């Protein structure tokens, strides 16, 4: 089953036009007082959710925009934002 994603500019497109940008880990931590642990957490660590997660994508072979979307990793399909995560 092929993945499709919805680019906020171009609409629904084939998943292979996009580049995965990782789990959405919130804003980049402030440089001031940053510990190696916190930086490592931001750069390397993942939740590896078996289910719906919020993640970054870039429409690399399209308009080039970066955006976040929700995907069910057990079905490999884009899904609506789950209610609990409004």
What does the binding site for other proteins look like in residue numbers (CB under 8 A)? 1-3, 15-16, 19-20, 36-37, 40-41, 44-50, 60, 73-76
Q: Which does 75 bind (CB under 5 to 8 A by kind): other proteins, Zn ion, none?
A: other proteins
> How far is Cα 67 from Cα 6, in angstroms, rounded to an integer?
10
Q: Which does 63 bind (CB under 5 to 8 A by kind): Zn ion, other proteins, none?
A: Zn ion
Q: How far is the CB of 12 from Zn ion (least distance, A)?
A: 10
Q: CA separation (Å) from 13 to 2, 4, 22, 25, 78?
A: 11, 6, 19, 25, 11
Number of Cα atoms under 13 Å in the Cβ half of residue 38: 10
Q: How far is the CB of 40 from other proteins (least distance, A)?
A: 4
Q: How far is the CB of 54 from other proteins (least distance, A)?
A: 13
């Amino acid at each position: 089953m092929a993945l499709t994603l919805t680019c906020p500019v171009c609409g629904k497109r084939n998943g292979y036009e996009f580049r995965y940008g990782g789990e959405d880990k919130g804003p980049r931590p402030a440089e001031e007082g940053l510990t190696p642990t916190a930086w490592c957490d931001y750069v390397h660590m993942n939740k590896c959710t078996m289910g719906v997660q919020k993640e970054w994508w870039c429409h690399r072979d399209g308009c080039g925009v970066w955006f976040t979307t929700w995907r069910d990793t057990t079905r490999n399909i884009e899904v609506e934002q789950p209610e609990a995560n409004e």
